[in-house]
């Protein structure tokens, strides 16, 4: 019904109609219709640009700061669904970062009085900052993978700078945004745990890949990524994702189940554990037998937890089923997979799902 009603409103753009398009795009993902997600998210971006929401000058026309922040939140919600959709399907983004100048949602230090609810934009604003950095990192790596060539000096420098910015971003998070049980419970009480969880899981998924580029090379065997590797750091970040998912499942399942785009971070962690399985099939000579056994048990248990998590999410979000099938086929050793369901018409989902 919503899709029928919104058609008649497309000729009268408004913030409310834009918000409806974003919600419909989420609904399409929940129904497992990848093409619908892409179409409605593109319609949302188009309407947002038509309204001028991509420019801070337009935002400033709102009468109050509360209304201005509402407009910013709407713009960034629209942009994020476009970005994450692009990462998942490999389709190009609708608008580049240099084509808009709307300020990020307010990320200034919130009131440390934990008896009061956190600002709506506080966690989300930091997530937007991370998405921008993640997108730039993905652009550099994916462009290199597609052309199967070496990074030039400018790209190498840019990648190094972005890696540093990622680290500085995480170190700059205020105490109230550090991931721990107390903070998680606080955001859970105010229905913000899903964004809090996604913020940290997304960061660790990028670190997992950046410090173990062979996780990308499984799907692009002729490409060498010139990154300093640290398998221990990659493994640690993958484990952090699983630990956070376990905590969310125990404390607030809604934070997990109401978080559809968490699926790509879980897939990244799972691929790290699959890499561990491959490594342990021929363990290095200096690894003791008991270390091999314990590491294998932990990796297999973590891999199973990733599968269980995706299975739970796919009950509510049909689009997660695609990621779940990827993991099942990779776990079975099949790297030449078709992730589409014949009944949905969305059988063209790109292998960018397995990229950064």
Please give the Cα distance from 240 to 238 (Å, whole number). 5
Please give the Cα distance from 99 to 113 (Å, whole number). 38
pLDDT tens readout for residues 175-229: 989 999 999 999 999 999 999 999 999 999 988 877 776 676 554 444 444 444 5
CB within 8 Å of 229: residues ≥ 6 apart: 211, 212, 213, 214
Q: Give the dihedral sign, CA 174/179/181/183.
A: positive
**Residue 341: predicted pLDDT:** 46
**Global confidence as pTM:** 0.85
Burial pattern 84-113, b for ≥16 Cβ within 10 A else e, equals bbbbbbbbebbbeeeebebebbbbeebeee
Q: What are the start-end ranges of the E strands in 69-193?
A: none
Residue 199: exposure state from Cβ atoms within 10 A (0-12, 13-18, ≥19): buried
Confidence band of 342 (pLDDT split at 50, 70, 90): very low
pLDDT tens readout for residues 263-308: 989 999 999 999 888 888 888 788 888 888 888 899 999 999 999 9
Of residues 232 and 143, which shows the higher confidence score? 232
**Residue 278: predicted pLDDT:** 84
CB within 8 Å of 240: residues ≥ 6 apart: 200, 204
pLDDT tens readout for residues 229-253: 578 888 899 999 999 999 999 999 9
């Amino acid at each position: 019904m919503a899709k029928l009603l919104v058609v008649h409103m497309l000729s009268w753009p408004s913030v409310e109609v834009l918000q409806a398009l974003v919600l419909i795009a989420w609904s399409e993902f929940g129904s497992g219709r990848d093409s619908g997600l892409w179409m409605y998210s593109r319609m949302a971006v188009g309407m947002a640009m038509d309204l001028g929401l991509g420019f801070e000058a337009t935002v400033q026309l709102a009468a109050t700061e509360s209304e201005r922040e509402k407009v910013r939140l709407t713009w960034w919600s629209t942009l994020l669904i476009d970005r994450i959709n692009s990462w998942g399907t490999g389709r190009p983004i609708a608008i580049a970062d240099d084509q808009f100048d709307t300020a990020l949602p307010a990320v200034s230090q919130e009131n440390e009085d934990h008896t009061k609810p956190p600002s709506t934009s506080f966690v989300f604003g930091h997530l937007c900052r991370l998405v921008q950095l993640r997108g730039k990192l993905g652009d550099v790596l994916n462009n290199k993978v597609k052309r199967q060539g070496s990074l030039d000096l400018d790209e190498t420098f840019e990648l190094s700078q972005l890696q540093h910015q990622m680290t500085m971003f995480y170190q700059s998070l205020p105490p109230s945004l550090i991931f721990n049980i107390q903070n998680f419970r606080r955001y859970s009480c105010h229905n913000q745990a899903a964004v809090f969880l996604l913020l940290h899981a997304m960061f660790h998924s990028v670190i997992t890949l950046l410090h173990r580029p062979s996780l990308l090379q499984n799907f692009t065997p002729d490409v060498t990524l010139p990154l300093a590797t640290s398998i221990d750091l990659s493994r640690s970040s993958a484990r952090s994702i699983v630990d956070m998912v376990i905590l969310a499942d125990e404390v607030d399942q809604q934070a997990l189940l109401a978080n559809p785009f968490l699926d790509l971070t879980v897939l990244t962690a799972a691929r790290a554990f699959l890499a561990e399985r491959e490594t342990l099939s021929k363990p290095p000579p200096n690894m003791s037998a008991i270390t091999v056994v314990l590491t294998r048990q932990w990796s297999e248990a973590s891999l199973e937890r990733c599968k269980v998590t995706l299975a739970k999410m796919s009950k509510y979000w049909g689009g997660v089923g695609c990621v779940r099938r990827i993991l099942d086929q990779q776990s079975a050793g099949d790297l030449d997979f078709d992730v589409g369901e014949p009944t949905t018409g969305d059988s063209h989902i790109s292998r960018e799902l397995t990229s950064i």
